[in-house]
Amino acid sequence: MRVKVISRSTDEFTRERSQDLQRVFRNFDPSLRTQEKAVEYVRALNAAKLDKIFARPFIGAMDGHVDAVSCMAKNPSYLKGIFSGSMDGDIRLWDIASRRTVCQFPGHQGAVKGLTASTDGRVLVSCGADCTVRLWNVPIATLEESADPPGENSTEPVAVYVRQNAFRAVDHQWDGELFATGGAQVDVWNHNRSQPVKSFEWGTDSIISVKFNPGEPDILATSASDRSVTIYDLRMSSPVRKVIMMTRTNAIAWNPMEPMNFTAANEDCNCYSYDARKLDESKNVHQDHVSAVLDIDYSPTGREFVTGSYDRTVRIFPYNGGHSREIYHTKRMQRVFCVKFSCDASYIISGSDDTNLRLWKAKASEQLGVVLPREKRKHEYHEAVKNRYKHLPEVKRIVRYRHLPKLIYKAGIQRRIMIDAAKRKEERRKAHSARGTVVTKPLRTRRIIKEVE
Amino acid sequence: MADKKRKSRDSQKPYKKQSFNFKASGKEGRKKRTGPRLPNSMKKVLERLNPVDSEGEEHDGRIDSNENDKPFGNDIYEYEGEVAPEDSRKNRRFDPVEKLEYELPEDFQDEEILSDYADGDDDDGIGLTSHEGEVDSEEEDDGRHTRMLQGITGMPSEAFEGKKKRSSAVVSEAYPESEYNPSHDILEGDGKINIQDLLDPLQDKAGYSELRKRMQQLENKSAPIQAPLPKPDREKVERKVAYEQSKKEILKWEPLVKRNREAPALFFDEDIDLKYSTVGAIASEFEPRTEFEKKIASLVYDEKVMEAHKKDGARLLELNKVSVEEEKERRDRIAKMRSLLFRHEMKQKHIKKIKSKTYHRLLKKDRLKAFSVQREMDPEAAKEQAIKQEFKRAEERLTLKHKNSSKWAKRILKRGLDAQDDGTRAAIAEQLQQHVLLTRKMNSMKENSSSDDSSDEDEEDSAASDQDSAAKLLADARGKTLKALEEENDAPTSGVLSLPFMVRGLKKRKDAAIEEAKLALEEYEMTSKQKEDSHEAEKSRPSTSSGRMVFGAVKPQIQNKKSKPERTLDDSDSEDDVEANEDGDIGGQKEDLQNDIGNGSFSFDEDSQIHQNSIFKSFDNIVKDPSAKTTYEVSIFASDSWRKMKDGKKEGTEVGHSSKKKQEVGEPAGVDKHLKSVELNELGEESDTESEGQMVDGVLSAGPARSYELPSQAELVQQAFAGDDVEEDFEKDKMEILNKENPEPEKPVLLPGWGQWTNVQKKRGLPSWMLKEHDDAKRKREEALKKRKDAHLKHVIISEKVDKKAEKLQTKSLPFPFTSKEVFEQSIRMPIGPEFNPVTALGALNRPEVVKKSGIIIKPIQFKEVNPHEKGDNYRGNEQKGGSKRKRGGDGAGKKKASKTRS
């Protein structure tokens, strides 16, 4: 009697080292594995559950400020550094890795309202309610040798420019020498000049926020307290267009990967994504917050953005999705005044009323530290499978579920009730009036009053 | 609005003035112009001759001059030129006398004075205060006007005095009109002295052409300058323009953004920095580590050699010098090798020439033995051999070299095997056997491995007793056929098969089947006899490995045969399932046939096995199909009459096949037959594969049906629905389903002993609560039935049973980005796991939408041209350091790997 076996050359399955993985030979004939779909569905389910189990987004808090954190700026060339300014005029540079203050920039008399850093990360610009714009040299040396941070060193401003009106916001151009401040009007400054290079004034209301377009560095957008969002073009050196909404826009963020698009964080709990070329309607309405959205920042990948709200939560939205994919909150976090995505798109930093900066993971269940290639592949597979079956009810339920603080949960329900009621009312009004007299505007245009040329 | 007002005001101004002036002079002017007039040139001449001119002439001139005062009507530069103080003589700085002598060029006036031009235009009369003649006529008009103004404004007339005073202060011309003393009307335009006129006298002077050119330029450029818009308007326009511009600017991003959005994955992980990309660069970094490498390095980088390389080749030649002894030695060595080789070659040739088969066989045996020994001793050689063997196999599979595809084999087959001598036939058989040997692995892979193993185990034992078992099987088959024949007698009593026309058809087919079965039995008798004959022949033949393989293939067939009849026999008892059973059987038959085809290649070298096989199959099929489904295999052995029924198309192949088989059946056993069968099987295999499609759809089922005439359609329908009440059946079905989904409440039953302990209760019957409960349940059920979707649909059953387990695998509605159900289902059809996909495809399947590494700063998008025709697959989302492109997809994984290994 002879026994037949499949013969393979030994080279194919011998390991070079004992740590190596055994090579597995597989027959991919689909007829041999008929349960593949069921298997993958179960895996998707498990992946979703695992995601929930490992969702630990909060990494740590950075405390040191005495007053509420009003603004933050990331260092575009240095991943670990983040600047924060507080309401008492204190500016700090933090080392995210060690979560400690590296350097302080004292000088502001009132609240620091705007912070920004140049693209090379060497100059920090701050402005505040004390009507001054201050330029600081960022101490590179202390950044690099952050191993011995206990001696908190401080620096003097390189330049202080005093103007007549208080400033509300500042932003630096990408890869350029200009920065813009917003207050009574929009001023565009050069590092080397003590006077603004240009000033724009369109309307009389004060500017709340200023943002340069990172992709198209000569374009900037501002929002003002007259509920308008205005776009300026420095090449034409004139304001370009303005759109007036029903409620104020608190912050603006340009999509770094799509230079025509920006998203405005509005007072009415929603964020509105606009195409700068078509301001008469927003491209997308991102709704989930239950209170005014105070700050917004795009991920450098351009695929999602983070918002901080007055409802004490931080949410992450996909750039093209109507609802948030993630919500972050802690018991002690108060009103979130500023949020930033880190430059590598994997962390989120939020600054809030409770004088703390908080560091979050951008993906709640992401594994920190070194991930082996095999692990990485596994994660990717889990993600892919989960993504594939995300529409099926069980997976969907698990993926969507978030535990919310009672207040926010209740507020959300209430908000929904209100919206539904308004909708119902409108429907009834429509039903009882002549055809065509009551027109339901789509949500994307409902909150826009007009586009001003 | 404000804007408009302003504009309208602007436009009204001149109009008013004009009308005001009309009062003063319009009438006269009109009169003058309507009458017959002299041409202007003539008038000029007259003027010159008669300096104190009539009023009418002046009026005419005045009116004409008005042209120049139109807001933007004429050239402003021209205008300036005309009112130059020197020319107008108003400042009187120049001596007027000298001008009398000057002679004017002839073309001076004719050029510009157009009499027609003057007509119809009388817009404006302001500033024409220097008219002597006008004063008088204006006097009273002015008085009236002031009065009017006074009336309107309520201001004293002194307020309006100034204008009048000025007009009175104007002194009329002191000099007679001439070219050199241009009168007012000439200055103001009627005279049409323009720049051209002034330039003409300078024609001969130096710098004239330059001056003229400049003037022309000015004229060409001269567009009316509008009054600046108010600031907000201006800014608005500016913004609009700027907006358009910046919109246009931003448009360039569109293709880039579009590509990003459409890309299945965006890459933000930085490129691996390959510092040394060329072989030379890598080699230059090489450092010898092992001893051998060091030795080589010391030789290569020997100072002398390096030096020699640096200089010319002469030194190298010197270094290359070899001694005579060395050279001699080398030559001898080579010669020896050559002679050895030659001898070996000769020896091989000699061996090759030896024709003795026994010798070769022995040689082969020796070699095998040596090889097996070697294999045990030396795994390396064994592996080599295995690889060689594998290669041969693969080659055979690819080329089918031994499957009668050679020129020689084709020729022989063309002539017919019968015409050949034994040797040739044997050779062909040998070749085919080789083919089988070489392709064996493939076939064995195809089969179920477990059955293969079992057959392998069996084959050793069964090889000896194969004749016996075959006989036994034949006997079995006969018994079962008979049994089946007996059983066929009971006909179905209900269902579709009970319909009269079906019954008739069935009967006919049954008859045919019985006949065939009988034939088959006869065949069986015959073959059993033959088998006994062939038994002797087989004994003489040495058993080959292929013999075993036949059993490997046949065995499952036998097993099938054993199992299938039992099943079908069982089934045939249950009448409802008959039809389904039939269908299944058809499928089974098809499968069988295909199996046969597959197995054919195994079995052809075994002579009598073929017949056994086919008979088994035929019996198998007959037995399997008690409802008289004629099978193909049976028909092969059946009478000629069956052949007539066959398709024209099929006849060529199938009939040939069957007839040949018949022929073969009749042939005496032996080697010849064996060969024949080989060939036949080959043929059969080909033809079968060709006509498989037909067999599948047509012949198998249709073949027997043709045996009786088809009734007309109407007849058929009538027959088909003769006695059945479809509606009633349906209602019954529906009721059944309803009952299943909403079960009827059980009737309250008086439990024995329940409430029977007093007579009172016994009299009352069932307790009221029980009845009530029952009623409630009934009502509930009825309500539920009413609520059903199919409550009002008489001919429809809508099942409302929800399968909870299935429900969780379905979405309630189509998920958002998908447009149709099919697309969505397609998107989750193929598995993406590592168990189901090769490693090369895995990366692309599982790649997340955004590929990034934590710790790498992602910069905002930078502009670069996008080729719209380029496929999106070799794209990186963000070119960070002007890095090279990386491919995505299956390609990408490989490339990535490669780059990693390089680094």
* Cβ neighbour number for residue A452 with a 10 Å cutoff: 16
Q: Is A393 helix (H, G, I), strand (E, B) or coil?
A: helix
Cα(A90)–Cα(A104) distance, rounded to whole angstroms? 7
CA B732 remoteness from chain centre: 50
Query: Is residue A177 a contact partner of residue A192, using CB atoms and an 8 Å limit?
Result: yes
Check A235 against B249: CB less than 8 A apart: yes
pLDDT tens profile A270-320: 999 999 999 999 999 999 999 999 999 999 999 999 999 999 999 999 999
Query: Could you tell me if A196 and A210 are in contact, meaning their C-beta atoms sit under 8 angstroms apart?
Result: no
The pair of three-digit structure tokens given for residue A356, joined into one six-digit string: 């703390």
Q: Within the 35-74 window of chain A, which residues sit less than 8 Å (CB to CB) from chain B?
A: 36-37, 39-41, 43
Query: What is the gyration radius of the CA atoms in chain B, in angstroms?
Result: 59
Q: Do residues B128 and B65 touch, judged by C-beta distance below 8 A?
A: yes
Residue A303 near residue A316 (C-beta atoms within 8 A): no
Residue B89's pLDDT is 52
Residue B66 makes CB contacts below 8 A (sequence gap 6+) with B121, B122, B123, B124, B125, B128, B188, B189
Rounded CA separation B39/B43 (Å): 6
- Examine the pLDDT at A246 and tell me if it is beyond 80: yes
Nearest to A43 by CA among A365, A378, A379, A385: A385
Nearest to B246 among A37, A219, A302 (CB): A219
Q: How does B345-372 read in b/e, with b if 16+ C-beta sit within 10 Å?
A: eeeeeeeeeeeeeeeeeeeeeeeeeeee
Helices A36-53/A373-388 angle, 10° precision: 110
Proportion of chain A above pLDDT 90, given as a percent: 78
Q: How far apart are CA B334 and CA B348, in angstroms?
A: 21
> In this structure, which amino acid lies at residue B844?
A
User: In whole numbers, what is the pLDDT of chain B averaged over residues?
Assistant: 65
- Using pLDDT thresholds of 50, 70 and 90, give the confidence band for residue B462: very low
Dump pLDDT digits (tens) for B39-90.
Answer: 666 666 666 666 544 444 444 444 444 444 444 444 444 444 444 544 555 5
Q: What is the DSSP letter of B655?
A: I
Residues 6+ apart with CB under 8 A from B221: none
Structure token digits, residue A112: 């620091």
What one-character DSSP code corresponds to residue B23? Answer: I
Round to whole Å and give the CA distance between A59 and A56: 8
**Fold type of domain A59-361:** Methylamine Dehydrogenase; Chain H (2.130.10)
Does B265 lie at the interface with A, CB-CB under 8 angstroms? no
What is the residue-averaged pLDDT of chain A?
A: 91
ipTM for this model: 0.91
Report in angstroms the alpha-carbon separations of B539 from B403, B542, B560, B610: 27, 7, 28, 17
Residue A207: phi and psi, rounded to 5, are -85, 135
Q: What is the average per-residue pLDDT within B745-765?
A: 69
pLDDT above 90: residue B701: no
Q: Does B24 touch chain A (CB under 8 A)?
A: no
Inter-residue contact A214 to A227 (CB < 8 Å): no
| Tokens, residue A309 | 């709200």
Q: Which residue has the higher pLDDT, B751 or A184?
A: A184
- Does the pTM exceed 0.80? no
Burial-class residue B342 by CB neighbours within 10 Å (0-12, 13-18, 19+).
Answer: exposed
Q: Is A174 on the interface with B (CB under 8 A)?
A: yes
Q: How far is A409 from chain B (nearest CA, A)?
A: 26
Predicted confidence (pLDDT) at residue B650 exceeds the cutoff of 50: no
CB contact under 8 A, B861 and A383: no
Q: Which residues does chain B have within 8 Å of residue A389's beta carbon, measured at their own beta carbons? A: 828
First to last CA, chain B: 73
- Continuous H helices in B378-406: 379-399
Distances (CA, A) of B796 to A227, B73, B453, B728: 60, 88, 53, 13
How is chain A split into domains, by residue range?
59-361
The minimum CA-CA distance between A175 and chain B, rounded to whole Å, is: 10
Secondary structure E strands in A14-144: 58-63, 69-74, 81-86, 91-95, 100-104, 112-117, 123-128, 132-137
Determine the Cα–Cα distance for residues A155 and A138; give it in Å rounded to an integer.
9
Chain A nearest-CA distance from B842, in A, is 9
Give the mean model confidence (pLDDT) for residues B852-856: 86
| Strand A112-117 versus strand A100-104 pairing type | unpaired
Q: Give residue A433's Cα distance to chain centre.
A: 44
Picking from B250, B835, B837, the nearest residue to A276 by CB comes out as B250
Give the pLDDT of residue B208.
Answer: 85
Q: Check B858 against A300: CB less than 8 A apart.
A: yes
Q: DSSP string spanning B233-292?
A: HHHHHHHHHHHHHHHHHHGGGHHHHHHHHH-S-EE-SPPP--S--SHHHHHHT----SHH
Most confident of A16-20, A227-231, B395-399: A227-231
pLDDT band at B726 (very low <50, low <70, confident <90, very high): confident
Position B287 scores a pLDDT of 84
A156 falls in which pLDDT band (50, 70, 90)?
confident
Instruction: Between B232 and B814, name the one with better pLDDT.
Output: B814
Q: Nearest to residue B250, comparing CAs of A68, A285, A259, A131? A: A259
B612 vs B542: CA distance, rounded Å: 20
Q: Report how far residue B263's alpha carbon sits from residue A221's, in angstroms, rounded to the nearest whole number.
A: 28
How buried is residue B56: exposed, middle or buried, by Cβ count under 10 Å (0-12/13-18/19+)? middle
**pLDDT attached to residue B716:** 82
- How far is residue B743's CA from residue B731's CA, in Å, rounded to a whole number? 16
Residue B440: which of B426, B427, B462, B456 has the closest Cα? B456
Whole-angstrom distance, CA of residue A366 vs CA of residue B852: 13
